[in-house]
Amino acid sequence: MSDLIGRTEEKALMQDFSEQVSSRLSQLAETADAGGFDAAVQLFADAVRAGGVIQAFGTGHSEAFAMEIAGRAGGLIPTSRITLRALVLRGGYQPEILTGSALERNPEVIGDLLSLYPIDPRDVFLIASNSGVNGSIVELALAVKARGHKLIAVTSLAHTNAVEPKHSSGKRLSEVADVVIDNLAPFGDTTLTTADGTGVGAVSSLTAAYIAQLLTIGTAAKLAESGERPPFYISANVPGGDEHNNALEDLYAERIRQVS
């Protein structure tokens, strides 16, 4: 009987999670349809038209958001992914700093991190962080704003407004960015609770990936409206994919980086 009860609970949780995800995706689609992403899409399109690059950054699970933006089939070619790993791979830092979450909370490394990437005044920045309060996230946001770049933030407003900022400025990512997109994740990210009180069903990665694709699609449509052919990747696993991608990547030389 206990196995039957356990299986029943499992099926109920899975169904509940599907509803939690689908309702949020529907809400994001409605937001996009109502023009809620237009400002971010315009910043993307303006940067591409000007010859700029979209610089994407996220730590922890939010790095998956940056991967949705930069360097994938069906995505914009003028994109670059900034990662904390670069401090070890190219910046001379010791590998031990990558253990745990201390690095993403450390604002002091951001100057060194940005020095490892070719940043152009035409570039626009996109930072994803569910909590929006960790030191490296806010420090990078402040640094790029000080340089005059436009900044888009993707964050959980429910979470970030419920916790204290960890940066010495006392600011959250959402308070620094020019455009803020709510990923609709709840406080703590999990959407469900098991019978024993365990929180499960984290949703921020799913909504963030959807947001990334909506922004990419919107940018393609915006560029196409004015008769421009959007510079998009096609899969390297289809005939001619490498040739197409390499030719367009060459237009940006060393300014785009999709790996650390």
For 222, the domain range is 2-255
Contacts of 79 (CB under 8 A, 6+ apart): 53, 54, 55, 56, 69, 70, 71, 256, 258
- HSE of 209 in the Cβ direction (CA atoms, 13 Å)? 8
pLDDT in tens, 9-65: 788 899 999 999 999 999 999 999 999 999 999 999 999 999 999 999 999 899 999
State the average pLDDT for the chain: 92
Q: Is residue 260 part of a domain?
A: no
Q: Is residue 23 part of a domain?
A: yes
Q: Is residue 128 part of a domain?
A: yes
Q: Is residue 127 part of a domain?
A: yes
Q: Is residue 32 part of a domain?
A: yes
The β-bridge relationship of strands 151-155 and 124-128 is parallel
Contacts of 182 (CB under 8 A, 6+ apart): 155, 156, 157, 158
Q: Is residue 219 part of a domain?
A: yes
pLDDT exceeds cutoff 70 at 3 = no
Provide the pLDDT for residue 259. 66
| Contact criterion met (CB below 8 Å) for 136 and 104 | yes
Query: Once rounded to an integer, what is the mean pLDDT over residues 147-174?
Result: 97
Residue 7's pLDDT band (boundaries 50, 70, 90)? Answer: low
Q: Which of 119, 149, 153, 147 is nearest to 133 (CA)?
A: 153
Can you spell out the DSSP letters for 31-59? Answer: HHHTTTTHHHHHHHHHHHHTT--EEEEE-
Rounded distance between C-alpha atoms, residue 167 and residue 165, angstroms: 6
CATH of the domain at 175: 3.40.50.10490
Rounded distance between C-alpha atoms, residue 230 and residue 21, angstroms: 30
Q: Is residue 213 part of a domain?
A: yes
Q: Does the pTM of the predicted model rise above 0.75?
A: yes
C-alpha angle 37/162/20, rounded to 5°? 55
Provide the pLDDT for residue 41. 98
Number of domains the chain is built from: 1
Provide the pLDDT for residue 176. 98
Q: Which of 185, 181, 159, 160 is nearest to 172 (CA)?
A: 160
Contacts of 216 (CB under 8 A, 6+ apart): 68, 69, 74, 75, 76
Q: Is residue 20 part of a domain?
A: yes
Q: Which of 89, 51, 110, 35 is nearest to 127 (CA)?
A: 110
Q: What is the DSSP letter of 88?
A: H
